[in-house]
Amino acid sequence: MSVTTSLIKAAVVQAEPVWFDLPGTVTKTCDLIKDAASKGAKIIAFPELWLPGYPTWIWARPMDLEMVVKYTKNSLKIDSSEMQDIKSCAVDNNIVVCLGFSERSGDSLYVAQCIINSNGEVVMTRRKLKPFHVERTIFGDGHGPSLDNVALTSVGRVGQLSCGEHFNPLINFNTFSQGEQIHCAAWPCVPAHSGGPEPYSMSDEAQTFSLQPPDFPPGKEHSEHLSHRTGHLSRLKPLSYVNTTRLQIAYYEDGSPDAQAVLLLHGWPYDIHSYTEVAPALVKQGYRVIVPYLRGNGPTTFLDTDTFRSGQQAALGYDVIELLDALNIKKAVFAGYDWGGRGACVAAALWPERCAGLVSVNSYLIQDLSKAWVPLDAKIEAGFWYFYYFLTPRGQGALAEHPKDIARVVWDKNSPEWNYTEEDLDRATETFVNPDYVSVVTHVYKHRLLYAPGDPDYSDIEKALLEQPVISVPTVTLDGLADGNFPPTNGSSSAKYFSGPRVHHQVPGAGHNLPQEKPNAFVNAVLEVTSLK
């Protein structure tokens, strides 16, 4: 099944149903689907209980059996001809439909949702786990299968929740953990207050809004979540997805498609938000920025369960080239640090025709595995404690159970002058919730120390890397003077690895996560490398 590789157009229904009239609302549903598809939408989302309308009266008056009976008769059965009409409409218009409806099963009602794929298949049905407040006078509780609320569709992995479920952290976590890419948040109608007995809180004058990131449609005006501390972007959103031969890579992109592309590659244990200030600054300078989650991190996933969960440097470098291929980019600036810097160096050395310039923190990062067992200075070895810890079952278990704590220790050691916040660490910790995180991270260090074999598919690349290939493209290298684990240099010790134009800078006050700690220095390095001849 194909999966979206770029932004798509989505339709969100804000309309009035044909009250208490199932056939009439089905007809209106199909009309709205056709209209959305004709305007280029590939997915359409309907409100909570769209069919046959939200029973707003329950908030304003005593039980009304006559209205309940009428409502029940006009509720939707999943195996009905009315549902078939909607499925057929989805097929005819090649669109994914996220439907909210009152499900009638026997003579019981449920607050229900379903996802109809563009081929007409119902790929997910669910019931609201616990109807809210007086909704329980009409609707029954959901059941276990309702937790399987994310499904693969022609536009990606789509999930749904209903109204108050969005305030339940565990239900949200369950949804996110299923690899959701598009979230359809269903809410009921909230009309103007009539001056009658209904609660003021259920009126639009109450100015109640959803403030969850998934509830914002794609678009720059909604993606720029500002930090209350700095006034800068706190998150890079929305994400796009693209398939390579092995991965579905999640990435942030901004800037003109025709501009010079810059790949910003993060390290470990960090994430794409190392570039929350760098990315918009480069876009303002006229660049196209692409910030991918590396393998084993965040929403980036392997396509096949049988694929080797490798973290070796050859894999990181080849992922860069495959990402360019998938995005139809002939040439880009590669910029990164730590894992990302290593992948950038590998790609620049072996595929110089694809690299318009290299920015690398800590200079030449291609590992010489022939010297994997050569001792380093004792102080440096002490900073590499996790290399050895992750060789053991104990270390692997700790990484699985306490990834945030491990990240905190590494951050503190790597960047002793960086005044990061708990918000920064929590945001990065979200990246570690990946089914292959532990496998990929531990393989990085097992392979680096020759305690685990690499993926045979990368054997030719690894052989080339054993030669310590020279980097011929224009390069700017950076060392943070406050890097607690990687002593800064003047660049001379690594000069032999660069045959093209190269400039080296020392950055005062910068630790290992240099793009986030000193974004201006990193931005200037990208500007500089594109001017080197």
What's the rounded Cα separation, in Å, for the pair 189 and 308?
49
Q: How many residues does the chain have?
A: 533
What's the rounded Cα separation, in Å, for the pair 46 and 100?
6
A 10 A CB-CB count for 15 gives 12
Rounded to an integer, the average pLDDT of 317-342 is 98
Tokens of 321: 């080239």
Nearest to 299 by CA among 271, 319, 320: 271
Residue extent(s) of CATH 3.60.110.10 domains in the chain: 10-191
Nearest to 230 by CA among 276, 274, 264, 285: 276
Predicted local distance difference test score (pLDDT) of residue 228: 38
Residue extent(s) of CATH 3.40.50.1820 domains in the chain: 243-529
Residue 134: pLDDT band with limits 50, 70, 90: confident
Q: Is the dihedral of CA 383, 386, 388, 389 positive or negative?
A: positive
Q: Is 48 tagged catalytic? A: yes
For residue 203, pLDDT over 70 is answered with no
For residue 227, pLDDT over 50 is answered with no
Residue with tokens 């074999």: 453
The least confident of 194-198, 216-220, 399-403, 502-506 is 216-220
What's the rounded Cα separation, in Å, for the pair 335 and 266?
9
127 forms bridges with which residues in the sheet? 112
What's the rounded Cα separation, in Å, for the pair 44 and 30?
11
Tokens of 96: 């994914």
Predicted local distance difference test score (pLDDT) of residue 144: 84
What's the rounded Cα separation, in Å, for the pair 110 and 113?
9
Report whether 322 contacts 245 (CB < 8 A): yes
Q: Residue 175 CA to chain centroid, in angstroms?
A: 13
HEC profile for 484-532?
A: CCCCCCCCHHHHHHECCCEEEEEECCCCCCHHHHCHHHHHHHHHHHCCC
For residue 221, pLDDT over 50 is answered with no
Q: What is the average pLDDT value for the chain, to the nearest integer?
A: 89
Residue 277: pLDDT band with limits 50, 70, 90: very high
Q: What Rg value do the Cα atoms of the chain yield, rounded?
A: 26
Tokens of 111: 């607050």
Cβ contacts of residue 450 below 8 Å, gap of 6+? 369, 372, 373
Residue 186: pLDDT band with limits 50, 70, 90: confident
| CA angle (255 as vertex; 254, 261 as ends), nearest 5 | 95
Rounded to an integer, the average pLDDT of 205-214 is 43
Report whether 188 contacts 198 (CB < 8 A): no
Q: Residue 281 CA to chain centroid, in angstroms?
A: 21
Predicted local distance difference test score (pLDDT) of residue 225: 44
What's the rounded Cα separation, in Å, for the pair 183 and 215?
7
Catalytic residue among 48, 82, 165, 277: 48
Within 204-326, residue ranges assigned H as helices are: 220-223, 278-284, 313-326
Q: Do the strands 475-480 and 502-507 form a parallel or antiparallel pair, or are they unpaired?
A: parallel
Residue 63: pLDDT band with limits 50, 70, 90: low
- 231-246 burial, b for 16+ CB within 10 Å, e for fewer? eebbbbbbbbbbebeb
Residue 382: pLDDT band with limits 50, 70, 90: very high
Global pTM reads: 0.61
Within 15-112, residue ranges assigned H as helices are: 22-38, 65-73, 81-93
What's the rounded Cα separation, in Å, for the pair 522 and 291?
14
Cis peptide before 238 (omega within 30 of 0): yes
The percentage of residues in the chain with a pLDDT greater than 70, rounded to a whole number, is 89
The percentage of residues in the chain with a pLDDT greater than 90, rounded to a whole number, is 71
Predicted local distance difference test score (pLDDT) of residue 365: 98
| CATH for 243-529 (3.40.50.1820, 3.90.45.10, 1.10.10.60, 1.20.120.400) | 3.40.50.1820
Of 166 and 425, the structure prediction assigns the larger pLDDT to 425
Predicted local distance difference test score (pLDDT) of residue 384: 94
What's the rounded Cα separation, in Å, for the pair 251 and 300?
8
Cβ contacts of residue 296 below 8 Å, gap of 6+? 309, 311, 434, 436, 437, 439, 440, 441
- Residues 86-96 have pLDDT tens digits of 999 999 999 99
Report whether 101 contacts 112 (CB < 8 A): yes
* The CATH fold of domain 10-191: Nitrilase/N-carbamoyl-D-aminoacid amidohydrolase (3.60.110)
What's the rounded Cα separation, in Å, for the pair 170 and 372?
44
The least confident of 19-33, 79-93, 229-243, 249-263 is 229-243
290 forms bridges with which residues in the sheet? 253, 263
A 10 A CB-CB count for 69 gives 11
- Amino acid in the structure at residue 305: T
Of 190 and 276, the structure prediction assigns the larger pLDDT to 276
Rounded to an integer, the average pLDDT of 262-285 is 97
Tokens of 205: 């004058």
For residue 233, pLDDT over 50 is answered with yes
Structure letter (DSSP) for residue 94: T
For residue 3, pLDDT over 50 is answered with no
